[in-house]
Structure 1
């Protein structure tokens, strides 16, 4: 009587599970995308349509000229709403303040687990908007700009990175992660186009260069 050899078949489920686990370990943290970011092609068209002007001044500017973090619903302000939109597993308290959650900052690739470490960046800074035409706006329009959640003007990022940016345009400051330059340029151009703001020649050249990374 012959001996039957034991045949061992591969275990595809285990192998597949191992592969998927490995992929999960290398995939970066999920990030929210602000609404209304134009495509590269649209951004290039919008950029070519923006008025190029000499740099304006900040004479008469203060952040108070742009009423910001307006109440949206109940106790929730624009800041809290964007924190919830851009975060993961965000838990607010009875006053709508985020007490837990995590926020991936696409500018430099860090993840923060405390809302105290997160700023809501005005992609086109308020002072930059003032220099680009907002000085002539009504206060109502400036408030709408400072709280605009309908376009790519607001995004949650690490506080220190936002503070390093300040009110600088793209010819003076870009996100530390070069892989985000394309998205950032599209957000910047989309915002300036939406609000009919001017750009400088240096700003225009920098934005073309950043769009070339798309």
Structure 2
């Protein structure tokens, strides 16, 4: 059978179009995979949640500032991120919580331990134990990690519902420079209000010692503040970031290029 030249050209054109379509689909598939294994994994794993965009840092009427190793750099959080050293994690096999001092000391010497200071700062209204100006017994919070309205009531089990989270987890800090700090500097890091937020207990447990590459708050509105606060803490205590952590922070800050660093006191 004889095939005309026109028919041959039409077949060639359809073949080229088919291959072009396959190429476009392949590129789209690769782009989707790249998105998923970077920012998309968080979006796919967790539905978008709206909530507060900031959390309290410092109240000078009754708190005293904790002196960090270095002052928090003023200005852009993105610029401060670029100023952090990028390195891999140090070993964690020798990590102990006691390396950061006894939990919830009165580091700022205002007469109240750190846990009660943070509860008082973050809850509203606050109920105190009878005869005490320190021991927080109850309060409400629009919790920043989940965006949920929660109530706190002190008790053997109920106290766990609101926990005090280290924004830069102490385990993460230990692997990224805290081993090189003095015991007193590590104690300050563990009790600095800049590094502490009253948070939903299950969310805090889920975060564990994760950094921005492995955990971000479900509340999308809070992520810029959260990442800026991590950057500020790391700058203040001479801690470094990993490559993956820095990239995750940059992706968050891409949505808020005017985000500034955060300081306490």
Q: TM above 0.5, one fold? A: yes
Show the counterpart of 2:137.
99
Q: Is the aligned partner of 1:109 residue 2:147? A: yes
Show the counterpart of 1:7.
none
Q: Is the aligned partner of 1:199 residue 2:241? A: yes
TM-score (norm 1): 0.79
SS at match of 1:73: coil
Bigger Cα Rg:
2
Q: Is the aligned partner of 1:209 residue 2:246? A: no
- What is the alpha-carbon distance in structure 1 between the residues aligned to residue 52 and residue 90 of structure 2? 39
Show the counterpart of 2:57.
34
Give the 3 Å change call, closer, same or farther, for CA 52–184 of structure 1 in structure 2: same
Give CA-to-partner distance per residue, 1:127-175, whole Å, 9 cap, x none. 11100111122211111110112xx311111111111100000000000
Show the counterpart of 1:44.
78
- What is the alpha-carbon distance in structure 1 between the residues aligned to residue 206 and residue 176 of structure 2? 21
Show the counterpart of 1:140.
184
- What is the alpha-carbon distance in structure 1 between the residues aligned to residue 122 and residue 72 of structure 2? 15
Give CA-to-partner distance per residue, 1:92-133, whole Å, 9 cap, x none. 114532222112211111122124121111000001110011
Show the counterpart of 1:185.
227
Show the counterpart of 2:172.
128
1:37·1:190 contact (CA, 8 Å) conserved in 2?
Answer: yes
Q: Which runs of 5+ in 2 are unaligned?
A: 1-50, 59-70, 154-158, 257-265
Show the counterpart of 2:110.
73
Per the TM alignment, residue 73 of structure 1 is displaced from its structure 2 partner at its CA by 3.5
- What is the alpha-carbon distance in structure 2 between the residues aligned to residue 118 and residue 144 of structure 1? 22
Q: Is the aligned partner of 1:53 residue 2:95? A: no
Give the 3 Å change call, closer, same or farther, for CA 136–66 of structure 1 in structure 2: same
Q: CA RMSD in A?
A: 2.3
1:92·1:99 contact (CA, 8 Å) conserved in 2?
Answer: yes
User: Alignment length, in residue pairs?
Assistant: 184
TM-score (norm 2): 0.64
- What is the alpha-carbon distance in structure 2 between the residues aligned to residue 104 and residue 81 of structure 1? 17
